[in-house]
Amino acid sequence: MSFKVVIIGAVALGPKVACRLRRLRPDAEIIMVDQDRFISYGGCGIPYYLSEDVPDERSLMSTSFHVLRDEKFFREAKGVTVRPRTRALGIDRAKKVVAIEDLESGETSELAYDKLVLGTGSLPIRPPIPGIDLENVFCVSNLQNALDIKKTIVRPDVQRAVVVGAGAIGVEVTEALADIWEIKTALVERLGHIFPRLFDANMASMGERHLEEKGVEVLTGETVLRIEGEEEGGGRVRRVVTDRRSLPADIVILAAGVRPNSSLAKEAGLELSARGGIVVNEFLATSDPDIYAGGDCVENQSLVTGGPIFTPLGSLANRHGRVIAARIAGKEERFPGVVGSFIVKVFDLCLAAAGLSQEEALAAGFDAERVLTVGYDRAHFMPEKALMFLQLIVDRSSRRVLGIQGVGQANDAVAVRVDAVAALLKYHPLVEDISNLELAYSPPFASAMDSVNALGNTAANLLDGLYRRMTVGEAMEHLHGGDEDVLFLDLNAPRQAKPYLEQFPRQWMNIPYEKLASRIDEVPRDRTIVTICDSGIRSYESQVFLSARGYPSVYAMELHLLRKLGLDATTHST
Amino acid sequence: MSFKVVIIGAVALGPKVACRLRRLRPDAEIIMVDQDRFISYGGCGIPYYLSEDVPDERSLMSTSFHVLRDEKFFREAKGVTVRPRTRALGIDRAKKVVAIEDLESGETSELAYDKLVLGTGSLPIRPPIPGIDLENVFCVSNLQNALDIKKTIVRPDVQRAVVVGAGAIGVEVTEALADIWEIKTALVERLGHIFPRLFDANMASMGERHLEEKGVEVLTGETVLRIEGEEEGGGRVRRVVTDRRSLPADIVILAAGVRPNSSLAKEAGLELSARGGIVVNEFLATSDPDIYAGGDCVENQSLVTGGPIFTPLGSLANRHGRVIAARIAGKEERFPGVVGSFIVKVFDLCLAAAGLSQEEALAAGFDAERVLTVGYDRAHFMPEKALMFLQLIVDRSSRRVLGIQGVGQANDAVAVRVDAVAALLKYHPLVEDISNLELAYSPPFASAMDSVNALGNTAANLLDGLYRRMTVGEAMEHLHGGDEDVLFLDLNAPRQAKPYLEQFPRQWMNIPYEKLASRIDEVPRDRTIVTICDSGIRSYESQVFLSARGYPSVYAMELHLLRKLGLDATTHST
């Protein structure tokens, strides 16, 4: 009797389990079923297939050595039987069989298993709104959808698009439509900012502004009420109606997130989480020890909060697959959990994050503070330097680092900092660990005091009460409320300060940083002073300096107020 | 009585201490002396000043907001007194005074201190060879040297250079001379490979080969015996004589490493290490609690070995400075130690490392193994992908990760992986922690199974005995020794295998990976089989497959044998 392993789902997790198990258990009989005709493809590459960065769909289904990962490849090279277009109908755990249906012939049969693996992935959330079944309304849930979308967007009469949902897929598809296909695109997000939960509003706003610069209409805090077609209740889509406006649309992409595809597990009586993810232990076994699950259909454990976290990512599916194969083969491997790391390209920007945003950290009960810095991504004297914004989320009382977010150019510079902090998060680092994070240093790659170390230092200064910060929100209230008790002391060069002096004549003064000590008598002692520069360094130093000279009420302006006021910090610093 | 802090050395550590201490102790009197006329500059930028990436020396001495960090700047903006061209002659610890000499006037005087900070940096090692004082023989030890070198290399009669020492500075200066100034340059290294101790020979060889492609003569394992001038014992340099040849030279750069500049500390009776570094505790206090030291003049503690480590880097000087200022101001900050991270640009390549090389790990008594992989730096279906070599150093019995090395394109992709592992090293991670390292994933930035995770997996497979590797050295012996007991089974496409089949007709066979199962009968059972491909993935799978089919002696070829044989892996994989 051979050892039989049945795998349901053949996109990311399934093939990984199958291939590794083949190496660990050469004797096992491995059968993988999938209801789709496409198997073993890089689903995360779909937006790049739409944008033609990936020239054809075969590239997404090929190995790095250009061999198509199809049924024949799995049979001949891997010794794994794949049955595409085959749906799993149900699991009989007592008999240890899976009922299946051949979707071509309609025939049903049973597959016996010794171990069963569920890699059923996720399903797109379809918002309960009228019109989502109209022609040219798509989800981006699998390669078949992608092919259908591609066929549509190449048509010359498709000139307006609406993308619903501003998570990674929504934004990536928006970029593909607007950039390559020059389709006028509106991005609608129900929550207050793009990448909700992943980023805080201030960091997300940089991405929003960049999307707008690229011609995308970004509509946050806006709910889609219905989608209308060319005829009453049918035909091709014509417009999307939100709670604020009507948006013309020749194509609509629904990217309102995904949920675990766990119905098969549920019907089989396996334990599910509140969110509907399959519950697995650190060996990725379900509540039935003969059934494993991984990838988008399970809920992971957060190494930051200790609680459950839903992180549907191809990278985790691959790592899950490896552990599942090892366990089935009797090895002692574990999947410890996830910190939740995330990265996305948005036109010319990269946004990356790991751990918790401040919004999430507060929701999880932490006394969460955030610290924002800006600095160069390599030595400031190197010609190819660029500015990078970093935000650290820390727990005030314990000084524990809960998360990091970064925004910079669309190269790997932000990833260098975010991934290094991501590596630390499971050890529950303190802000001092960020101050001393040892990035490899050489001027073409980092700064002597690297931006991520400066971020840790700034967080420590804030927690220690040395850095007394005024947030952008507070400043805007003072400025636009005309509060003359507050005086903004601009430490930039006179040329830079001029437009603000003109805009806020009673609330703005300018003394260049190097002159502050000699011109201190010009700074009134009976007003609240808010120091401001474009890097955050000089404003902090000057805040400390004025306080030491006995000024009773001094704050340092959180950077990027100037951005809010309409001038970009990047144009300031060079 | 004011609180007096005297700082000796005003390049990297000193200014950091001064500026932070000013913020923490606004009342302190801070005096910084330096024997040089240039202060507070980015010394690590000197090679980029020579290459004109940094347009002028002022850039190295300016803040990121383009203000010159000179004496006046420190006085007016920072409230710090700087005395350039002032040499510290000695420390009287009982009286708590430093004797100083004004190098312009020759006057001597004393500076009293409450706390003293030593930031005396390092001194270039000047090899004891005849001729090192000849005209146009330079060290790269400070900005004055850099100005002198620049003046020389712009001269049209300077056409041949010899650089002695292939550490970071030697190689960076080599690139500047050869690339921008088109000076025919020979790089001579006494030890067996470039970047000795930092990289193992196999990784360093990729840098050596690249230097050669760029026209640099790389001479390793070669000792300089003397330097000769245009006349007997004097004049301008003409040639460098090694134990193997005579190299014509219009300029010679000595970059044979640096040693701690600790003579002042030694004379004052402070404790020094065997290597001559000032011994400091985790607060960076010397054996005299009123004297602190940091930067290149101290020895750090390795967080990998627990032993001493000399890491002269501007990045550490900056972090040391911050901690020293905090301690002097009575705060509880610590400097925990270093893992030893390193990165260097070599023309179009980046080489980076953290922790121990195998050579170093063996020397430190570890049962050290190394694992080499190659993979893409982002999803293989993205057009801008590039190959990246990663090597992990692990302790066999404990599975502890001791270090990582990477070679790839001169962007930030190698840093992403090396810095993430560097962040982990102080926690003494196991190979499984590398398998599960959670790099933020999206196709433009990483792979679903990222190269660094694959590196961890390969290390685990090797330690578990699943991956049975033949090293390049072993293979070369079999091949060139004509050992017909060993058969190399090339799994690449026939077109790729052809040249090897022709070169080694009795030792080479070709079955494309996908065909192996169906053509297994062609593989003889009575010879040792060495599977080979250009990524290491298919060769490993096939080694496992053949073993499972009862082949008694099967090994997987360590990748880049093909490179050794003259074909570059990069040309193979695309």
User: pLDDT, tens digit, for every residue of A379-390?
Assistant: 999 999 999 999
pLDDT beyond 60 at A571: no
Q: Would the CB atoms of B446 and A343 count as touching at under 8 Å? A: yes
pLDDT beyond 60 at A497: yes
Q: Is A151 exposed, middle or buried (0-12, 13-18, 19+ CB in 10 A)?
A: exposed
- Does the pTM exceed 0.90? yes
Among B residues 547-566, those touching chain A with beta carbons less than 8 Å apart: 548-549
The answer to whether B309 and B300 have CB atoms below 8 angstroms apart is yes
Helix (H) or strand (E) holding A346: strand A341-346
Per-residue confidence at A568, pLDDT binned at 50, 70, 90? very low
The answer to whether A268 and A95 have CB atoms below 8 angstroms apart is no
Per-residue confidence at B148, pLDDT binned at 50, 70, 90? very high
Question: Can you give the pLDDT at residue A234?
Answer: 77
The answer to whether A408 and A374 have CB atoms below 8 angstroms apart is no
pLDDT beyond 70 at B334: yes
Lowest-confidence pick of A289-293, A297-301, B62-66, B490-494: B62-66
Could you tell me which of A263, A166, A40, A208 has the C-alpha nearest to residue A563?
A: A208
A369: left (phi over 0), alpha (psi -120 to 50) or beta: beta
The answer to whether B507 and B475 have CB atoms below 8 angstroms apart is no
> For the segment A218-240, what is each residue's pLDDT rounded down to a tens digit?
999 999 999 999 987 678 999 99
pLDDT beyond 50 at B408: yes
Dist. CA B333–CA B330, nearest whole Å: 9
Tell whether B138 lies on the interface with A, counting CB pairs under 8 A.
Answer: no
Residue of chain A minimizing CA distance to B45? A443
pLDDT beyond 70 at A300: yes
pLDDT beyond 50 at A395: yes
Could you tell me which of A485, A97, A523 has the C-alpha nearest to residue A290?
A: A97
Per-residue confidence at B574, pLDDT binned at 50, 70, 90? very low
Lowest-confidence pick of A82-96, A174-188, A491-505: A491-505
Cross-strand bridge partners of residue A135: A236
Question: Can you give the pLDDT at residue B471?
Answer: 87
> For the segment B185-194, what is each residue's pLDDT rounded down to a tens digit?
999 999 999 9
Judging contacts by C-beta atoms under 8 Å, the chain A residues touching residue B318 are 448-449, 453
**Maximum CA pair distance of chain A?**
92
Q: Output the six-digit token pair for B528.
A: 């040792």
CA B552 to chain centre: 42
Cross-strand bridge partners of residue B234: B231
Dist. CA B11–CA B313, nearest whole Å: 12
B343-365 mean pLDDT: 97
Per-residue confidence at A567, pLDDT binned at 50, 70, 90? very low
Average pLDDT, chain B: 93
Could you tell me which of B71, B53, B54, B73 has the C-alpha nearest to residue B63?
A: B73
CA A355 to chain centre: 11
> For the segment A419-459, what is each residue's pLDDT rounded down to a tens digit?
999 999 999 999 999 999 999 999 999 999 999 999 999 99
Tell whether B79 lies on the interface with A, counting CB pairs under 8 A.
Answer: yes
**Percentage of residues in chain A having pLDDT higher than 70:** 97
B99-115 mean pLDDT: 98
Q: Would the CB atoms of A416 and B416 count as touching at under 8 Å? A: yes
Question: Can you give the pLDDT at residue B64?
Answer: 81
A121-144 mean pLDDT: 94
Q: Would the CB atoms of B353 and A545 count as touching at under 8 Å? A: no
Question: Can you give the pLDDT at residue B480?
Answer: 85
Judging contacts by C-beta atoms under 8 Å, the chain A residues touching residue B449 are 16, 315, 318-319
Please name the member of B59, B343, B427 whose beta carbon is closest to the beta carbon of A445.
B343
Q: Would the CB atoms of B438 and A354 count as touching at under 8 Å? A: yes
Question: Can you give the pLDDT at residue B141?
Answer: 87
pLDDT beyond 60 at A573: no
> For the segment B23-80, what is each residue's pLDDT rounded down to a tens digit?
999 999 999 999 999 998 988 999 999 999 998 889 999 888 788 899 999 999 899 9
First vs last C-alpha separation in chain B? 72
Judging contacts by C-beta atoms under 8 Å, the chain B residues touching residue A436 are 319, 335-336
Judging contacts by C-beta atoms under 8 Å, the chain A residues touching residue B447 are 315
Q: Is A197 exposed, middle or buried (0-12, 13-18, 19+ CB in 10 A)?
A: middle
- Interhelix angle A168-175/A201-213, rounded to 10 degrees, is 20
pLDDT beyond 50 at A364: yes
Q: Output the six-digit token pair for B421.
A: 């592992």
Which of B20, B49, B65 would best serve as a mutation to test chain A binding (most A beta carbons within 10 A)? B65
Question: Can you give the pLDDT at residue A377?
Answer: 96
Which of A315, A447, A515 would best serve as a mutation to test chain B binding (most B beta carbons within 10 A)? A315
Q: Would the CB atoms of B412 and A411 count as touching at under 8 Å? A: yes
| DSSP line for B150-209 | HHHHTSTT--EEEEE--SHHHHHHHHIIIIIS--EEEEEESSSSSSTTTS-HHHHHHHHH
Q: Would the CB atoms of B439 and A67 count as touching at under 8 Å? A: no
B380-404 mean pLDDT: 96
The answer to whether A264 and A8 have CB atoms below 8 angstroms apart is yes
Tell whether A355 lies on the interface with B, counting CB pairs under 8 A.
Answer: no
Per-residue confidence at A482, pLDDT binned at 50, 70, 90? confident
Cross-strand bridge partners of residue A561: none
Dist. CA A133–CA A236, nearest whole Å: 10
Dist. CA A153–CA B322, nearest whole Å: 56
Q: Output the six-digit token pair for B287.
A: 């054996």
Q: Would the CB atoms of A514 and B76 count as touching at under 8 Å? A: yes
Question: Can you give the pLDDT at residue A45?
Answer: 93
Average pLDDT, chain A: 93
Please name the member of A412, A449, A534 whose beta carbon is closest to the beta carbon of B445.
A412
Phi, psi of A14 (to 5 degrees): -55, -55
pLDDT beyond 70 at B560: no
Residue of chain A minimizing CA distance to B46? A443
Tell whether A54 lies on the interface with B, counting CB pairs under 8 A.
Answer: yes
**Percentage of residues in chain B having pLDDT higher than 90:** 86
A527-545 mean pLDDT: 91
Please name the member of B48, B314, B464 whose beta carbon is closest to the beta carbon of A441.
B314
Question: Can you give the pLDDT at residue A399?
Answer: 98
Phi, psi of A558 (to 5 degrees): -55, 135
3-state helix, strand, coil in chain B (%, to 5): 30, 30, 40
Question: Can you give the pLDDT at residue B308?
Answer: 95
Please name the member of B382, B419, B441 whose beta carbon is closest to the beta carbon of A440.
B419
Please name the member of A73, A377, A415 whose beta carbon is closest to the beta carbon of B445.
A415
| DSSP line for A47-110 | HHHHTTSS-SHHHHTB-TTS-B-SHHHIIIII--EEE-SEEEEEEETTTTEEEEEETTT--EEE
Please name the member of A16, A383, A440 whose beta carbon is closest to the beta carbon of B341.
A440
Per-residue confidence at A563, pLDDT binned at 50, 70, 90? low
Question: Can you give the pLDDT at residue A528?
Answer: 96
Dist. CA A422–CA B274, nearest whole Å: 37
B223-234 mean pLDDT: 90
Distance from B59 to chain A by nearest Cα, in Å? Answer: 6
Question: Can you give the pLDDT at residue B472?
Answer: 84
- The angle at the Cα of A176, spanning A173 to A180, to the nearest 5 degrees, equals 165
Question: Can you give the pLDDT at residue B285?
Answer: 98
Please name the member of A313, A443, A535 whose beta carbon is closest to the beta carbon of B64.
A535
Could you tell me which of B340, B446, B345 has the C-alpha nearest to residue A422?
A: B446
Q: Output the six-digit token pair for A91.
A: 């699991």
Which of B27, B348, B381, B467 would best serve as a mutation to test chain A binding (most A beta carbons within 10 A)? B381
The answer to whether A218 and A206 have CB atoms below 8 angstroms apart is no
Among A residues 366-385, those touching chain B with beta carbons less than 8 Å apart: 375-377, 379-383
